[in-house]
Amino acid sequence: MTTTSLPAGAPQDRGSEQSLEQQALAGLSQGQLVRRRFFRHKGAMIALGVLILTILLAFTSVGTVVGGTGKLEAGPTGDLQINGWRIPGWWPLDWFTAYPIVNGGAPTLTLFPFSIGEHPFGQDTLGKDVFAQVMRGTQQSITVMLLVGIVSLVLGVLLGALSGFYRGWIDSLIMRFTDVIIILPIIVIGSIIGRLLGGANAWVFGLFLGILSWTGLARLVRGEFLSLREREFVDAARVAGATNGRIIFRHILPNAVGIIIVNTTLLMSAAVLTEAALSFIGFGIQYPDVSLGQIISTYREAFRTRPWLFWWPGLFIIILALCINFIGDGLRDAFDPRQQSKIGRKSAKAVGAIPSVQAVMMVEGPTSTDDPEARVIDQFEGLPGPDPKPRPTDDQP
């Protein structure tokens, strides 16, 4: 009976796709694996690119206002100006000045032939430029979205980590406080805050929504910490003399970062819709400042005659919400250890050219996943076969 010996560097398992993948990803850290999976997620990459372009377009076109009250006031020359330091943009028009109506107020943007015109998104009945209004409203939605993400991330992770790690009376106190925050209706409280402040700006609304939106993230972080604190690496850190703070932030928290980032993106997406809803019902950002929901609410009576007043703010609300959701999907797949990253054709060819891998594939032949006949044979392998027919001896006739 002849035996075939494998080279010393050949893997001991079958030369399957899993072996090729393991060799292709060998030597990569966890952070490199996460980046590799995220950058290969086509939907997340497209959404990230669209989101970056939207942010650049919104903040560079009409500029932005830093500080001040955001109210209109008469300037030195008698014209209306926004109170605060305004950083100008490359678009010459603003969102609060009435201009002479061009093209009957219809959008001047054309695709064939491509032309932007004076008012690409059209004008309202007063002559205000809709493009400038939509860009300013997009700025407000992005500001609220980022503030909600930051505030919810800090509060949710901090309270959830303390609750899940220390347990006992600390867990009970934090969870009961979380229950109180959960039962508060955000829309109603937001309406009250907006009415009391007389039309708050995006910074106030972002902080307010972030203070009320962290509860779900805190519960998820608490569940992760309750599970991870019983793992062996936490016991090893305690034996090594690590403090509780070091165990929380250096050992447990990095293992829960996947679920934290994914749920933060979901909160940011919901914040865009919540801010638009509050502004639509008149309790959010108010004139002279604008938001996407306020634009839709202001021109809701003109839907039949001038539908372009709804197209553009609604389109940018959808773009922001979808981009954040797709990025969250990509981060979820990237941080999920159960996701099997598929190597590309070039990587497969490069790994397949390794002599040890070729030797394994030649010795063992096709695997059950490569050859249909081999897969059928594997199903019946190990079953008892028919008894062999006894060979006649010389004494038998």
H/E element, 283: none
CA-based nearest residue to 271, from 216, 192, 310, 336? 216
Terminus-to-terminus CA distance in the chain, angstroms?
A: 34
Q: What is the pLDDT of residue 25?
A: 57
State the burial class of residue 348 (Cβ atoms within 10 Å of its Cβ: 0-12, 13-18, 19+): middle
CA distances 290 to 40, 90, 298, 385, Å, are 38, 19, 10, 80
pLDDT band of 290, cuts 50, 70, 90: confident
H/E element, 389: none
Superfamily of domain 44-71+130-335: MetI-like (1.10.3720.10)
Q: What is the pLDDT of residue 43?
A: 92
Mean pLDDT within 370-396: 49
pTM: 0.76
Domain boundaries, the chain: 44-71+130-335
> Are 7 and 359 spatial neighbours (Cβ–Cβ below 8 Å)?
yes
pLDDT band of 175, cuts 50, 70, 90: very high
Share of residues in the chain with pLDDT > 70 (%): 73
For 233-251, write each residue's pLDDT tens digit.
Answer: 898 999 998 898 899 988 8
Mean pLDDT within 9-14: 47
pLDDT at residue 58 is higher than 70:
yes
Share of residues in the chain with pLDDT > 90 (%): 29
For 120-131, write each residue's pLDDT tens digit.
Answer: 999 988 889 999
Q: Please tell me which of 181-190, 289-298, 351-360, 366-375 the model is most confident about, judged by mean pLDDT.
A: 289-298
